Amino acid sequence: MLRSLGLAQLHPKPGSWGSSVIGGLIFGVGFGILGYCPGTLAGAVGQGFLDALLGGIIGILIGAGLFAALYPKLEKIILNRGNFGEITVPQMLKVNPWWVVLPVSVGLIAILFWIEKSGF
């Protein structure tokens, strides 16, 4: 709505299939091994869970260090493969953004109501 009123601008970052796959694998392996995403990891560390502190924080630091060290090679080999640029979903579908925003919003609200009602 803010964008439609001229009060905000989007600045999408360029993406690629290679960077999405690598990022998904890194996130998924970390999540799968410890069962924490970065947000819940911070909460678990705050509560004093040693698995989160030792496995999670040390794993994040080691993983970030390795990624930073290997970034120049990864960028040439895989990260830029399948580059799709600075595109949004409505631009990709060639539709007005509201044709994406409204159905997604209604669907999300319906899912949240369903979760609340079913007691998950």
Q: What DSSP letter does each residue of the chain carry, written as one string? A: -TTTTTS----PPPEEHHHHHHHHHHHHHHHHHHS--HHHHHHHHHTT-HIIIIIIIHHHHHHHHHHHHHHHHHIIIIITTTEEES--HHHHHTS-THHHHHHHHHHHHHHHHHHHHHT-
Q: Assess whether 26 and 65 both reside in one domain.
A: yes
Number of domains the chain is built from: 2
pLDDT number for residue 117: 93
- Asked whether residue 67 falls in the same domain as residue 101, the answer is no
Model pTM above 0.75: no
63/55 Cα distance (integer angstroms): 11
pLDDT in tens, 80-94: 888 888 888 999 899
Residues 44 and 102 reside in one and the same domain: no
Of residues 120 and 16, the one with the higher pLDDT is 16
**pLDDT tens for each residue of 10-56:** 888 888 999 899 888 888 888 888 888 888 999 999 999 998 988 88
54-66: average pLDDT: 88
Is residue 1 predicted with pLDDT exceeding 90? Answer: no
Q: Does the pLDDT at position 120 exceed 80?
A: no
Range of the domain at 95: 88-120
Backbone φ and ψ for 119, nearest 5 degrees, come out as 85, 20
pLDDT at 99 over 90: yes
